[in-house]
Amino acid sequence: MGTGYFITGTDTDVGKTCATVALMRLFQQHGTTVVGMKPVAAGCMLQDGQLKNADAQLLQANASVAVDYGLINPYAYQQAVSPHIAGKHNPVVTATVQTGFDQLQALADLVLVEGAGGWLSPINAHEDNSDLAKALGLPVILVVAIRLGCINHAKLTYQAIRHAGLPCAGWIANGTNPDMLSQDENIGTLKTALPAPLLGVLPYQEVVDFDALAGELTRPC
């Protein structure tokens, strides 16, 4: 298996980037060098003649070493739609992502790869995030947005991860809704339902403090 983790979520916009950066800070606090990779990103903006994604730039800014943007995000699409649509004329090639991942592995102890959308979200006409994770050979960390419907989404995603033959190294509960009712009860239900360790609960923050969030996490085994 590769040296790193594949970060997936129960859906799009569940806080995968926030959790990934918090994990990067956690590993760095324990003396581990780490870089982040977001191979596929849609909704990118043109900056200095290059399409760039805000989440990928956040991973770049928090890496232990300086990394070229193109290595972190080899497939950057302008349209804010599913990558298999946005990348119709420049589809994701898994082997290209693998090559970039191998280059990043040479730069740091760990590579955290953030998927695009949910576990089965398509990245091209024939593959989805699960195929990318399998190609990279990485254990998976599941980010669960604690909101209505999260129990069903989390259980289904966990089952799909295991069906793909990959280990789930743990899951992270992300507090995305400050008005969520019975949040603790939902997390308790998930702790019982998911046969993977809870790595931490990230509280809702108006202004994100990644070091504080890192303090809420434990390192996956």
Q: What is the pTM of this model?
A: 0.97
- Predicted pLDDT at 221: 83
Write out the E strands in 3-49.
4-9, 34-37, 40-42, 45-47
Question: Average pLDDT, whole number, for the chain?
Answer: 96
Count of all residues that appear for the chain in the document = 221
Taking only the tens place, the pLDDT of each residue in 170-220 is 999 999 988 889 999 999 999 999 999 999 999 999 999 999 999 999 999
Residue 121 has pLDDT above 80, yes or no: yes
**Tokens of residue 205, six digits:** 């923050």
Taking only the tens place, the pLDDT of each residue in 4-22 is 999 999 999 999 999 999 9
155 is catalytic: no
- Predicted pLDDT at 2: 54
Q: If 0-12 CB within 10 Å is exposed, 13-18 middle and 19+ buried, where does residue 165 land?
A: exposed
Closest CA to 143 of 178, 184, 113: 113
- Predicted pLDDT at 178: 87
Residue 110 has pLDDT above 60, yes or no: yes
The residue extents of the domains of the chain are 4-214
Residue of 38, 88, 155, 191 with catalytic role: 38
Query: Which are the contacts of 182, defined by CB distance < 8 A and separation ≥ 6?
Result: none
**Tokens of residue 2, six digits:** 């590769």
Taking only the tens place, the pLDDT of each residue in 127-160 is 999 999 999 999 999 999 999 999 999 999 999 9
Measured CA to CA, the distance from residue 186 to residue 179 in angstroms comes to: 14
Contact of 36 with 6, CB cutoff 8 Å = no
Fold of 4-214: Rossmann fold (3.40.50)
